[in-house]
Chains A and B, each alone.
Chain A
Amino acid sequence: MKRPGTYSGILSGGISGRTGPHLLPLARIKKIMKKSSDDVKMITGEAPIVFSKACELFIEEITKRAWNITLQGKRRTLCKEDVASAVITTDIFDFLVNLVSDSAKSEES
């Protein structure tokens, strides 16, 4: 019987099925990393795991900030504009400003 590999628990399990400290599929992360730059050639076993957890923390950070904006608007539903406002008002999310302005433009068109 083939034993499950180190990373196989990620895709199959839910929260109860988490075998490691990561949720996001490592193969997908490696694919995105390789597309980002031609300089990225090889990635060792642990780097995608750190990336996965970093993404999780990043998503949590945006969620927290977007949620604060939702609360300020006295609403209970988090919408895209809240995410956009969170990005614009946070300095370290400056790299996402283009994404936010592009989606705003596409809405107008």
Chain B
Amino acid sequence: MSEKEKDVVVTEKVVSEADELPKTIVRRVVKDKLSQLSKDSEVNVLRESLQGFCESARIFIHFLSATDVCKESKRQIINAEDVFKALEEIEFAEFVAPLRTSLEEFRRKNAKRKSESLKAKEMNKKGKMKEPPVTNGGGSEEEDEDESSEE
């Protein structure tokens, strides 16, 4: 009986929503994939089965993080290459190629965005340099007035 009670404790351990992956995004991934697989007709997904997808993905992250790639290389910081190696260790090597492609695409987009923002900053700087400096008390106006009074 005590073992059953222990099992009940484990199953009743509720993961707070803040620790789970957002259901709307998981649902979108599932629906997109299903529409790819079944182009003819619409597919339904029960709400409770989404919970299964969310939980599975969460445990997948745990499982992937727990591999000892960093320990072996005596580093404390996980980088992208560590993740690729870990995927191979847990027999998800088929993911590595599409992930590398995805990462390269992200790096290209990021580099493009950075160069665009740098260009924009430089343009702003140049624009500010061209404007004449504004003096206190409107000195130029006073000079004009003097000229007009002389005339």
Contact = CB atoms under 8 A, between A and B. Distances in A.
A19 B29 CA distance: 16
Nearest to B56: A96
Nearest to A47: B78
Given A36-B62, A47-B83, A92-B90, A105 B11 contact: yes
A77 interface: yes
- Give the secondary structure class of B's interface: helix
For chain B, give the interface size range.
35 or more
A21 B102 CA distance: 6
Contacts of B92: 54, 58, 92
B80 interface: yes
Interface string A55-85: 1111110111011001000001111101110
Nearest to B13: A102
Interface stretch (B63-71, B125-133, B134-142): B63-71
Interface of B: 7-8, 10-12, 18-22, 25-26, 28-30, 32-34, 37-38, 41-46, 48-49, 51-53, 55-66, 68, 70-71, 76-80, 82-84, 87, 90-92, 95, 98-99, 102-103, 105-107, 109-110, 113, 117
